[in-house]
Structures are given as structure tokens and as C-alpha cells.
Amino acid sequence: MKDANRAKKQNTSEGKLKTSNRQLRAEITECKQIEEKLKRTLTAISMNRDLFKAIINSTPDWIFVKDRNFRYILVNKPYASAMGKSPEDFVNKDDVEIGFSKELIFGNPDKKIAGLRNDDQKVLNGEIVHNPCDLAISANGVSIPFDTYKTPLKDKDGDTCAILGFAHNINKNKKVEAALKESEEKVQTLYNSSSDAIMLLDKKGFFDCNAATLRLFGYTSKKEFCNKHPGDLSPPTQPDGANSVTYSKKNIAFALKEGSARFEHLHRHSDGTDFPTQVLLDRMMLGGKKVLQARVFDLTENKKAEETTKKRLAELEIFHKVTVGREIKMIELKKEINALCRELNRKEPYL
């Protein structure tokens, strides 16, 4: 009986031991699975962190995050490098500790400087702040204009927990804008100071002209001139009998299609005087649409010179005919004299 009880207890102990071993093996397997999952998670987090850093550091724009105490949580390398620091140098420091001037941080109304702190506080209050020309001072003391956006970051409860900022260097844009403005001013100066009559038009008619145009046609203002259609600046018909309005529209359509046109045209001054001109039309793009630049040259003096030349040529032709006829008569007369001298046995005076 005692042996049976002992055997029973032994079997029970062995069963518990086996059960414990199975549970232990299961727990070990589960621990290994959890460990592998944790490794994969940490690897993924590391990869995501590296990817995130690669992304924010690959842009030339400045990217930064500040906490509710205006201390930096994160900055990218371009921002840190411009300040002569590393991203780590910014962490847990505010703008004063980084070295920005108090004027730049707290603002100066007289100089129209809003102040970084004022903008940051607006963001913490839930606003999105955009400054199209925000000045920052780099490590070498150079003032750099930025187009800056600051937006609030929310926590899971929807409360603002940080400030996210993006700053795009617009110094090159400013230089391009300045160069473009200078170029436009030069073109405008050349346009307005040119002695040639230059005007701009489209299918509807004129929309701009220079001072030389007003002098040529006798108008006092651009508005007065631009209210006229090209055909209205001419007599009803051209010297060849063509209708002036139809002729103008034909040449405008041709230039818009082919790119340019050159032709002579009889124009009319505001006082009713007609004068001959040469017109050059050149197609160009302005504001995304096709327009024409017209240059008009007064040919009045040229035509007068041409008429004078024609008249002189006609006179010379008449003189030439008279001179040639007289020369022929002289030759015939000399021949007659030589003939008479031969009959009289005298020496011929004309060879």
C-alpha cells in the first residue's frame, strides 16, 4: 500500500515537472519571439529615425521644433550650420542662449521687426504664422531674408505642445527680383526715350505706346491714342485704293500668325494731315498671350527726297536727249564741212 502511494506521488511529481517544463519552454519561446519583435521594432524605429534625419537634413531650408518654453527640441543641419553650430548644440536652448539679438527675439516696432518670441507665442495660441520676409543673422554676421512658416504641433488631446518652423532662404529670389526690376526699368527707359514711335497692340487694338508715338500722331495722352484702332489712324483708303481698316486688320493677322510683317502705310495725323510711313510688326509673348510690337517710321522726308530725285532724273534724261541730239548734229555738220573741203581740194579740218 505504501509502495503504491509512493509510486502515485512520484507520478504526480513527474507530471507536474513535465508541465512546468512545457510552460517554461513556452515562456522561453514567447520571450524569444518578443525579443525578435522588439529587435525588429527597434530596427524599424532606427531606420525611420535615420530616414527622418536624412529627409530634414537634405533640404537647404531651415527646419526646427520648439517646446512650449521656446526651447529647441530639434533643428536640421542646414539651420545649425548657418549658425556655426551642430544640431545637438540647439537642444534644450532658447533663442537667447543660441545667440540671437534681443531685438530679433523680442521685436522692434520702430524697425518693423515682429520678433521671434511674439510669433512663437501666436503659434502656441493656435495660429499659423507666415512671414514672407523674415530676417535672420548667420554665424558670419550676414543678414539673410527668409520666407518663414510656423505652425502648431498638437498632442493626442489636440492641445498645442510644440512649434514647427520652416524657413526658406529667399536671398537668391531677392537678387533675381532686383535684377529683373533693373532689367524692366532699362527696357522701360529705352521704350520711353526712343525717338522711334513704338506701340503695343493685340487683335482688339492698341494698349500701350511711347512718347514718340504721341508726337508722331499728335495726341496728348496714351489713353487718347489707345482708344483708336490702327485703321482709325489712317485716311479711309490707301494710295492703291485699298480700304485702310481692312488693310490694317490683314497685316495684323499676318504678323500674329507668321511672327512679323513689314509694309508701307498712309497714316493720318490728329489734325487731319496724311503722311506716309513704314510699319514693322513683330510678334511677342506678354502676360501669356500673343501681342504685337509696332514701330512706325515717318517717310515724309524720304518721299520728298524720292520725288526730288525722280524729278532730277527726269530733267537729266531730257538734258541727255537734247545733248545727244546736238552732238549728232555736230558730227553731221563736221562731215559736210570735210566733204566740201575735199571738193575744193583743201585739207579736211575735222578728223
- Let me know if 74 is exposed, middle or buried by CB neighbors in 10 A (0-12, 13-18, 19+): middle
How many helices (H) and strands (E) the chain has is answered by 11, 10
45 within a domain of the structure (yes/no):
no
At 69, which CATH number? 3.30.450.20
15 within a domain of the structure (yes/no):
no
Residues 168 and 226 in one domain: no
Residues 78 and 167 in one domain: yes
Residues 325 and 259 in one domain: no
Q: Which domain holds residue 72?
A: 57-175
Residues 131 and 199 in one domain: no
Cα Rg, the chain, nearest whole Å: 48
* Per-residue pLDDT at 83 exceeds 90: no
7 within a domain of the structure (yes/no):
no
| Total-model pTM | 0.45
Say if CB 64 and CB 76 are below 8 A apart. yes
19 within a domain of the structure (yes/no):
no
pLDDT tens-digit series, residues 313-350: 777 677 667 676 777 777 777 777 777 777 777 777 77
Residues 163 and 69 in one domain: yes
> 205: phi > 0 → left, psi -120 to 50 → alpha, else beta; which?
left
Residues 318 and 294 in one domain: no
Residues 237 and 204 in one domain: yes
227 within a domain of the structure (yes/no):
yes
* Per-residue pLDDT at 1 exceeds 60: no
Residues 76 and 148 in one domain: yes
* Per-residue pLDDT at 256 exceeds 60: yes
Residues 200 and 129 in one domain: no
Last residue of a domain, one of 175, 210, 236: 175
Give the span between the Cα atoms of 123 and 114, in whole angstroms: 14
Degrees (nearest 5) of the Cα angle 39, 45, 49? Answer: 145
What pLDDT does residue 231 have? 76
Q: Number of folded domains in the chain?
A: 3
* Per-residue pLDDT at 190 exceeds 70: no
User: pLDDT category, 23, cuts 50, 70, 90?
Assistant: confident
pLDDT tens-digit series, residues 131-167: 887 776 655 566 677 788 899 998 888 899 999 988 8
52 within a domain of the structure (yes/no):
no
